[in-house]
Chain A
Amino acid sequence: SQTIHQWPATLVQPVGSPLSLECTVEGTSNPNLYWYRQAAGRGLQLLFYSVGIGQISSEVPQNLSASRPQDRQFILSSKKLLLSDSGFYLCAGGTYGYTFGSGTRLTVV
């Protein structure tokens, strides 16, 4: 069965520092992959999705970017973090419906 691996689980970063969150997929190939952000007590906002290597679609303008260097790897990045980037980041996707990773709780201080 497909599994989404995501790390780190928690991260505290200063304002202006870079960010790189990695998501990898196991148990399937050619998955659609998604990055969501969940602010405290809020819903799941779709940030980026990818249907294949090098293919990225952005849902909302923001301070973040995404890349898909390999079929089973999806990376969320920022060159300079803002306070408003704090939140719970979830990678999701797969070939057979949606599977979520365990999430990264990012606090920008």
Chain B
Amino acid sequence: GENVEQHPSTLSVQEGDSAVIKCTYSDSASNYFPWYKQELGKRPQLIIDIRSNVGEKKDQRIAVTLNKTAKHFSLHITETQPEDSAVYFCAASQSYNTDKLIFGTGTRLQVFP
């Protein structure tokens, strides 16, 4: 089955700096890769996703890149703000709406003012 690895487990940055979180996956059939943000005690919230027919997607300060050949994808947050502090999870599945999501182990991002 699918296995998703995520690095780093913790990341501390200064406000205004960029943050990068990387994930690798094992199942070459996976073609949907979402990223979730989870604040303390809350449910995960989808922040951005990418499908295998594109290599990059941007939404304001957040971007995701995908390298299907190498089976890795990354989350990039620019101009970080204290409210970006949370745990971020990557995930992979074979289908946007018909297959289970397998999650990475999470990255705790702390943005210091």
Contacts and interface: CB of A to CB of B under 8 A. Distances in A.
Interface string A31-44: 01010100000111
Nearest to B106: A43
B103 A95 contact: no
A64 interface: no
Interface string B56-92: 0000000000000000000000000000000001000
The majority secondary structure among interface residues of chain B is loop
A98 B34 contact: yes
B53 interface: no
A97 interface: yes
Sort chain A's interface into a size bin: 20 to 34
B101 interface: yes
A103 interface: yes
Contacts of A90: 43-44
Interface residues of B, number: 21
A34 B92 CA distance: 15
25 contacts: A32-B97, A32-B100, A34-B100, A42-B106, A43-B6, A43-B89, A44-B103, A44-B106, A46-B100, A46-B102, A46-B103, A49-B100, A94-B97, A95-B97, A96-B97, A97-B34, A97-B46, A97-B49, A97-B96, A98-B101, A100-B43, A100-B44, A103-B42, A103-B43, A105-B41
